[in-house]
């Protein structure tokens, strides 16, 4: 999917069920669904006050043709929880989705959303970013492998992967990977990545700000030479401690850490302007 012809395109970072903050941000940017388009960076749900309301709202925008979203790690966790394949943690606050009267419809819609989008010919969007070892085209192709399984017409195909989705291994990409190990590795790069080493090996324990000490040999994925950033602007969420930081002219974070009491971020593609709204519940 590529950028429709509209007045403005905005990428909005991790909403995580903070529906009141989302409404405040849309008011801040004067969002008009008849003229503007929203690209959501994933993690629509979890830990905020109203995951089910957020999910219903975004679903309606997408069906109206005014928005699109990629999947984040919390969205995938919701899918696993809704299918009874993972315990639903109280702190995730997604029970409202699972218990909703329209839960089946919401879950079926969510599982059919992509892991990677191209908001325009020069921009690529995933939840956690793209490792330096992948080109934009490779990232999109690998994302489609996972999307085909999660969105499969047979729920049993999706369930078989979701049961095996969790884990930190393999932590280094190889074209020779196959089966669920391959799908898990792709999913971890696109939805969980923060640090890698120079070869692209993943490290999952670090979640802090850039000035905090990092495990030896690892750096933020965007500190390494990036094949994808040579051809596209990479926009990503996931890393709340970055708080919507502009990394380089070609790499932009949009996770403002709203669910932790900070701000929800919108990034306008036409002029790279940033807009922020406070979480009114803090």
Look at residue 88 in the predicted model and tell me its pLDDT. Answer: 87
Look at residue 3 in the predicted model and tell me its pLDDT. Answer: 53
Superfamily designation of domain 9-278: Metallo-dependent phosphatases (3.60.21.10)
Look at residue 5 in the predicted model and tell me its pLDDT. Answer: 59
Look at residue 96 in the predicted model and tell me its pLDDT. Answer: 94
Look at residue 282 in the predicted model and tell me its pLDDT. Answer: 76
Look at residue 90 in the predicted model and tell me its pLDDT. Answer: 86
Look at residue 1 in the predicted model and tell me its pLDDT. Answer: 55
Look at residue 137 in the predicted model and tell me its pLDDT. Answer: 97
pLDDT in tens, 41-95: 999 999 999 999 999 999 999 999 999 999 999 999 999 999 999 888 888 889 9
pLDDT in tens, 230-248: 999 999 999 999 999 999 9
Count helices and strands (H / E) in the chain: 8, 13
Look at residue 2 in the predicted model and tell me its pLDDT. Answer: 52
Look at residue 4 in the predicted model and tell me its pLDDT. Answer: 55
Preceding amide of 170 cis, omega within 30:
yes
Sorted by sequence, the CB contacts under 8 Å of residue 104 that are 6+ apart come out as none
Walking along the chain (282 residues) 10 residues at a time, the average pLDDT comes out as 72 97 97 96 95 98 97 97 90 92 97 97 97 97 98 96 96 97 98 97 96 96 96 97 95 96 96 94 78
Look at residue 13 in the predicted model and tell me its pLDDT. Answer: 97
Long-range contacts of 255-261 (CB under 8 A, 24+ apart): 255/13, 255/14, 255/41, 256/13, 256/14, 258/13, 258/14, 258/15, 258/16, 258/18, 258/21, 258/48, 259/14, 259/16, 259/17, 259/18, 259/46, 259/47, 259/48
Look at residue 92 in the predicted model and tell me its pLDDT. Answer: 86
- Residue 202 contacts residue 168 (beta carbons within 8 Å): yes
Look at residue 200 in the predicted model and tell me its pLDDT. Answer: 97
């Amino acid at each position: 999917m590529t950028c429709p012809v509209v007045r403005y395109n905005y990428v909005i970072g991790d909403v995580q069920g903070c529906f009141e903050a989302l409404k405040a941000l849309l008011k801040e940017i004067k969002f008009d669904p008849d003229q503007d388009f929203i690209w959501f960076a994933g993690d629509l749900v979890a830990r905020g006050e109203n995951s089910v309301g957020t999910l219903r709202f975004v679903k309606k925008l997408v069906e109206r043709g005014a928005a699109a979203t990629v999947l984040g790690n919390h969205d995938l966790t919701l899918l696993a929880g809704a299918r009874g394949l993972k315990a639903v943690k109280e702190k995730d606050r997604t029970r409202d989705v699972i218990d909703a009267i329209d839960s089946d419809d919401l879950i079926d819609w969510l599982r059919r959303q992509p892991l990677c989008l191209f908001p325009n010919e020069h921009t690529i969007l995933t939840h956690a970013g793209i490792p330096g070892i992948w080109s934009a085209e490779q990232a999109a192709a690998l994302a489609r492998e996972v999307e085909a399984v999660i969105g499969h017409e047979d729920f049993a195909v999706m369930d078989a992967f979701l049961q095996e989705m969790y884990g930190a291994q393999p932590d280094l990409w190889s074209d020779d990977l196959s089966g669920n190990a391959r799908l898990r590795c792709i999913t971890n790069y696109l939805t969980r990545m923060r640090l890698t080493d120079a070869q692209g090996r993943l490290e999952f324990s670090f979640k802090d700000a850039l000035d905090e000490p990092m495990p030896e040999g690892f750096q933020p994925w965007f500190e390494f030479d990036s094949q994808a950033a040579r051809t596209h602007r990479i926009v990503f969420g996931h890393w709340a401690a970055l708080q919507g930081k502009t990394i380089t002219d070609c790499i932009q974070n949009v996770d403002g850490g709203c669910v932790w009491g900070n701000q929800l971020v919108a990034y306008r593609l036409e002029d790279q302007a940033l807009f922020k709204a406070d979480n009114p519940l803090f």
